[in-house]
Amino acid sequence: MLTHVEKQLCESAITVRKNAYAPYSKFKVGVAILDELKNIHLGVNVENAAYPQGTCAEAGAISSMIASGGKKIKLIAISGSGSELCTPCGGCRQKIREFSALKTPVLICDEEMFQKRFILEALLPASFGPDNLF
């Protein structure tokens, strides 16, 4: 069962996913982040003909959060397509870790609805984060 805020975040990720720019892979991803100020930040994947130059949806949403003055991810929802769960790639798991607690909920959605809840620690066990540097 999702809370009102979790449902809103999932709906936002599902809706923004449609705006992704994925002409090559056709694999669109949408992300919605709730920050510590209770603001929602959206991101989509953006591909490029020079494949390594594309950006992931998570990176776009994190950039939006930072540009708006947010510093911490309190909740994140990710929407992708296909029969498998669309969890963040390894690089994005590390990007999320930079701004999240290990217990931060990660909500995975398909094109239409919520599918599964994780905590970041389950997706990135024994992670390296900011605390390792102090």
pLDDT digits (tens, 9 = 90+) for 57-68: 999 999 999 999
Under the banding of pLDDT at 50, 70 and 90, the label for residue 69 is: very high
Whether 62 and 95 have beta carbons less than 8 Å apart is answered as yes
CATH, residue 69: 3.40.140.10
Whether 96 and 62 have beta carbons less than 8 Å apart is answered as yes
Q: Please state, rounded to an integer, the average pLDDT across all residues of the chain.
A: 97
Under the banding of pLDDT at 50, 70 and 90, the label for residue 134 is: confident
**Number of domains composing the chain:** 1
Task: Report, as an integer, the average pLDDT of 81-110.
Answer: 97
Domain containing 55: what range?
4-133
**Rounded CA gap, 82 and 37, in Å?**
33
Question: Is the pLDDT confidence value at 106 over 90?
Answer: yes
**Catalytic center residues:** 58
